[in-house]
Structures are given as structure tokens and as C-alpha cells.
Structure 1
Amino acid sequence: MKKPNTIHAASCGRQRQIIEAALACFTEKGFPATSIADICKKAGASTGSVYHHFKSKGRLAAAIYLEGVRDYQAGMIDALSKETTAKGGIFAIVQYHLTWVKTHPEWARFLFQKRHAEYMDDTEDRMKQLNAEFVKQMSAWFAKHMESGAIRPLPRDVFSALLLGPCQEFARMHVTGYAKTDVTEAARHLAAAAWASLGNFTINPS
């Protein structure tokens, strides 16, 4: 008999396979034209297995969105936690953001396009929970650097706009095919610009 944690791990793994298969199908055919049969074929799963994990195609699409957010946020916190300096943290955030978009173009495109889709209505509470925890962890890391004076003490919304606003715009251009600059090069320039905007150089000239 399988142990409960083994069963749980297998179930989570199967859910992830179905989510990734559905994302590929939605990218290729679009949400309206994709059928559950298409997803089953791509995932190598039975119809019963798909409906066991997700009650409808809309619920599956919402799960794709939430899983993408979780994946992005977990990676961002991990990247930031490895940095000890304010400059290192800002560079890490910008570089991680663009690297994640480059590595997961289908997911990034889905997140950009589907936030206000009808099937997202039931996810608002979960999105608020995810974002609240994410902001809490990010804010805790930056608070000590603001207190030390290494980062300018700006309102949170202004700080976020300066840190990731230009980065998000480039990411949108990248996933839609308008960006021509290599992502690694763009990350370097945008990280330097973010640091120039946020660093308190009267205290931390480097």
C-alpha cells in the first residue's frame, strides 16, 4: 500500500501534468477551441482523471493561472533570499522576472492575457492570499535596506512601479514578439536603471 504522502505527491504530479498539457493546448488552439479530449490526449490522461482534478475547463484554466503565479512567486522569493545587499536584491528581481518570462513564454503570455477572464472570478480570494504573502515576504526583505538607508524610502506603489514597471513592459513586448533585444542584455540594462532609481547614493554610492 502506498503511503499517504506518496499518494499526495503522485496526485500533485498528475495535476501538474494536466495543467501543463492544458496550457500547451490553450496556447496552440485558444481556450474556446480546446476540448477536454484535446487536453486528455496531450496529457496522456483519461477523461475521468482530468475531471477528478478539475471540475470544468474553466476551473482548469483558472488552475493554470494560479499555478503560474505560485511558480513565479516562489522562484522570486528564492532568488531574493540569496542576496544580502540592496543592489544585489534589485538586480536579482529584475533578472529573475525576465528570465522566468523567457523560460516560460506560454505561461507568461497566459498570465498577461487572462487575469480578467470570466473563469477567474472564483479565484479572487486565493489570488489575494498568494499576493498578500508574496508582498509580505518581499517587503520584509526590503524593509531592512530602507531602514539602513541603502534604498530610498519611497511609497510602496511608487517603489514597485520603478522596480518592475519597465521590466514588465519589456516582458510584454517579449512575449508578443515586439522586443528585439536579447533578454539577458535587457535585464542588465533594466536592472541598472532600477538601481539608479531606487538606490540611495548619498549613503550607498556603489
Structure 2
Amino acid sequence: MSPKQSRGEQTARRLLDAALEVHERTGPAGFTVPAVTAASGISLGSLYHHFGSFDGLAAALYQRCMAELLDAIVAALERSRTARTGVRAVVLAYLRFVEEHPAQARFIHASAHAGYLPAHAAAIAAAKAPRIERMLAWLAPHVRAGRIVDLPGPLIEMLLIGPVAELSRRWLAGAPDLDPRTAARLLPDRIWRSVSAS
């Protein structure tokens, strides 16, 4: 990598780091171009050079945060041996990520209905695809063996991740009656029952 490329990557990383910090500190209302350029010390011109627009920066940050979450889930899943422990690993890895990386988790969940995502949906889907494929590849032998229900990939993904994602969204928003540690104790077996073929 040339020095110019290295500097470019460092600039992009600083902008993404600053954007996450601003979002965590101010919430969506304060997540603005002036706030991010001030926090990063990087010019508006550089932001546009690297990301095309502020929406492009936000989409890139969402993509980075989602990749970190999925990487944690896939790593936990691939260390598992049985179908049941694999499902448990997915649930616990998601909840652990939310507790250990609340800023990233908050950005993921706050972005779910953000206006910038549709324009960047193809790039986001392309970044997620290899990670989702690894999850489905791990599950496939268990589906063939009749241990996990045979459903289309997106539906299996919804059963595994949907309940945990919704719990996390509400907890991150401050719901007083939800707690990831309680969920970690109670949800894995219930989610296992929802995907178990037996």
C-alpha cells in the first residue's frame, strides 16, 4: 500500500470513528456534517472525497458496525459443535456485542429506519452476504440431518436474530423492563425450540 493510500484509509477511519462518537454523544438529532467534521478535524471536502456524501458516510459506518456484529456472531457459531450450542452461541454473541459495544449496537438499531440506507442497500447487502452465507453454511448440515427446520435462509435468520435484535433495540432505547443478562439466561432455549426440527 502506498503512503497516499495509507493516509486515505486513516482519514476515512478517523471520519468513521468521529461519526460513531458524535452519534453516541448526541443521538440522531445531533448527527450532522458540522458535528462530525468538527469532531474529526477533517474537512468537508475530505468527507465528500472519501464517502461521496454525509449519507455515504453514515451508510459506511452502518456497514462497519454491522460487519463487527456479524463477525462476532459467526465466530461464536463456528466454534460450536452441535446445533443447539450453535443456536445458543448466536443468541449470546449478539447480546454480548450489544453490552460490550453499545455505541455500535445503538447505531445499527437507530439506522434501521434511516433515510440513507435504501440508497446504499446494495453495498450493505453485499458486505453482509459472505457473513450470512457462513452462518447458513454452518447450519446446512444440521438442516439436512433433520436437527434444524428446513426454511428459507432469511426466515431462519429472522428466527435466530429477530427476537434478540428487537430486545436489544428496546434495551438500547432505555426500556426499563429489559435486560440483556436476563435475556441471555432465558432466550437461548426458547429460540432453539423455534428452530429445532424435533
1:119 equivalent in alignment to 2:131:
no
| Counterpart position of 2:86 | 89
**Aligned pair in 2 of structure 1 residues 159, 179: CA closer, same or farther (>3 Å)?**
farther
Question: Deviation at 1:144?
Answer: 0.6
Alignment of 1:23-172 (within 5 A): 23-31=20-28, 33-172=30-169
Q: How far, CA to CA, are the matches of 2:51 and 2:155 in structure 1? A: 39
Question: Deviation at 1:78?
Answer: 1.7
Q: 1:105 touches 1:175 (CA, 8 Å); kept in 2?
A: yes
Give the number of aligned pairs.
198
Question: Deviation at 1:181?
Answer: 4.5
Give the secondary structure class of the aligned counterpart of 1:178.
coil
Q: How far, CA to CA, are the matches of 1:151 and 1:32 in structure 2? A: 43
Q: 1:77 touches 1:137 (CA, 8 Å); kept in 2?
A: yes
**Aligned pair in 2 of structure 1 residues 60, 181: CA closer, same or farther (>3 Å)?**
same
Question: Deviation at 1:108?
Answer: 2.1
Determine which of 12, 27, 32 is the counterpart of 2:9.
12
Q: 1:95 touches 1:188 (CA, 8 Å); kept in 2?
A: no
Which protein is bigger by CA-based radius of gyration?
A: 1
Determine which of 163, 177, 180 is the counterpart of 1:183.
180
Question: Deviation at 1:36?
Answer: 3.5
Q: How far, CA to CA, are the matches of 1:193 and 1:6 in structure 2? A: 52
Q: How far, CA to CA, are the matches of 1:122 and 1:78 in structure 2? A: 30
1:64 aligned partner, one-letter code:
L
Q: How far, CA to CA, are the matches of 1:119 and 1:43 in structure 2? A: 21
The share of aligned pairs that are identical, in percent, is 30
1:129 aligned partner, one-letter code:
A
RMSD: 2.6
TM-score by length of 2: 0.82
| Counterpart position of 1:204 | none
**Aligned pair in 2 of structure 1 residues 158, 114: CA closer, same or farther (>3 Å)?**
closer
**Aligned pair in 2 of structure 1 residues 117, 198: CA closer, same or farther (>3 Å)?**
closer
**Aligned pair in 2 of structure 1 residues 31, 197: CA closer, same or farther (>3 Å)?**
closer
